Structure 1
Amino acid sequence: MRRGDQNQNDRLLKKQIMVLNRHIPRRRKTLKELLEEDRPHVLGTDGSRHRFKKNELNKIASIIPKTSQAQLKLPLYIEISSEMSGSRIKGKLECMLVCEILGNDYCGEEIYIYRGDVRVVRRELPTTSQYIFLVK
């Protein structure tokens, strides 16, 4: 394969990943902000409106200390990359939330979870978690 072909393939792959991520919000909101809204939502980069269920937000609020609710940004990102065998969760509060959902002890500021655990997180937090696809 020629170098130019590789660069073109890389650009094409990155463009396809961008299409997969078009649902990602322009700006994430904090748990505190979302709890104060009548119809909690964020706007996607594609202009779509992503709504959060109040019962999920309340469930998260019961796990995250009130003093930290202005720091936790939602939706929670489940990062997927071809370079990782699992999915990554980043952030102290994000990891605290996922570990509580999974029944694990507190597990730091970055964790990797695998298919079975991802299923549990998505089942418990269907509107407050989203996949994000990464490309290097």
Structure 2
Amino acid sequence: MSRGDVNREERLLKKQIMVLNRHLPRRRKTLKELLGEERPHVLGNDGTRHRFKKKELDKISSFISPDKWGQLKLPLYIEISSEMNGSRIKGKLECRVVCRILEKEDCGEEIYIYRADVKVVRRELPTTSQYIFLVK
């Protein structure tokens, strides 16, 4: 395989990943912003409106102190990469929320979770968590 073919394949893969991620918001909002909205939502890169359930926002707000609400950006990203076993959650507050959902001790600033845990997170936080696909 020539070098040109490898670059072409890499570009195609990156393009496919971009298609998979088109649902991601243009800009994530803080928990504080979302709690202040009558109809909490973000706009996706594809122009769609992604709504958050108030019940989920209230649940998340119970896990962290009100002075931190302006620091937690939603939706929470569950990172998926072909180079990782499992999925990654990054960020101190994000990890705190996920650890509370999974009933684990505080997990620091980065955790890896596996399929069974991802299912629990998605079941408990279906509108406030999203998959993000990474390519290296």
Unaligned runs of 5+ residues in structure 1 are: none
Aligned equivalents of 1:61 and 1:17: distance in 2? 32
Aligned partner of 1:8 in structure 2 is: 8
Aligned partner of 1:75 in structure 2 is: 75
Q: Secondary structure at the match of 1:96?
A: helix
Tell me the alpha carbon deviations over residues 43-80 of structure 1, each in whole angstroms, 9 at most, x when there is no partner.
Answer: 00010000000000000011111110000000000000
The percentage of counterpart residues that share the same residue type is 78
Q: Secondary structure at the match of 1:112?
A: strand
Aligned equivalents of 2:27 and 2:103: distance in 1? 29
Aligned equivalents of 1:56 and 1:95: distance in 2? 16
Q: Secondary structure at the match of 1:130?
A: strand
Aligned equivalents of 1:55 and 1:108: distance in 2? 25
Q: Secondary structure at the match of 1:78?
A: strand
Aligned partner of 1:45 in structure 2 is: 45
Aligned equivalents of 1:64 and 1:113: distance in 2? 21
TM-score with structure 1 length normalisation? Answer: 0.99
- Following superposition, the deviation at residue 29 of structure 1 comes to 0.1
TM-score with structure 2 length normalisation? Answer: 0.99
Aligned equivalents of 1:68 and 1:102: distance in 2? 20
Q: Secondary structure at the match of 2:25?
A: coil
Unaligned runs of 5+ residues in structure 2 are: none
Aligned partner of 1:64 in structure 2 is: 64
Aligned equivalents of 2:35 and 2:64: distance in 1? 13
| Equivalent residues, number | 136
Matches within 5 A, 1:1-136: 1-136=1-136
RMSD (Å) for aligned C-alpha atoms? 0.4
- Following superposition, the deviation at residue 35 of structure 1 comes to 0.3
Aligned equivalents of 2:94 and 2:118: distance in 1? 14
Misfit runs of 4+, over 2 Å = none
Aligned equivalents of 1:130 and 1:69: distance in 2? 19
Aligned equivalents of 2:117 and 2:64: distance in 1? 20
